[in-house]
Amino acid sequence: MPHVMAIMFIKCSSNKAVFLRVMLVNHTSLAYKVFMKKKLFNFLLESVEQMNQIAHGEAAPSREFYVDASGIKQLRASIGLSQAKFAKVIDVQVTTLQNWEQGRREPTGPAKALLRALRNDPKNVLKALA
């Protein structure tokens, strides 16, 4: 059975601290209290409210990134590497690269940044990765 996470925001009586209660719900329930400063708690709460507005179409995201699956394949082809060699150079599994190229998954975080760097300056990036 998959884990479901429920997050409850509960403010303490103190004006200086609040705590966040995190529950993992499956066949057993576990609860954790995370204490944090009120300023950080309010920042987190604001982010969750913004996420909810975006999810309900009430607000637009501040930025969106789309990765074109064919663009990854074209990038690899322009560099002249096989899937196996390209995957090794960027330090990902071949199956991960195949999933990106076929549009089943999208690169995230550092992988996305590395692909962008390769697109902008393949010669120097490949030299740095060698």
CB 76 within 8 A of CB 89: no
For residue 4, the model assigns a pLDDT of 46
Cβ neighbourhood burial of 106 (10 Å; 0-12, 13-18, 19+): middle
More confident of the two residues 88 and 14? 88
C-alpha pair distances (Å), 93 with each of 83, 84, 90, 105: 10, 8, 9, 13
For residue 18, the model assigns a pLDDT of 52
Edge-to-edge strands, sheet with 29-37: 4-10, 17-25, 29-37
pLDDT in tens, 70-120: 789 999 999 999 999 999 999 999 999 999 998 888 888 889 889 989 999
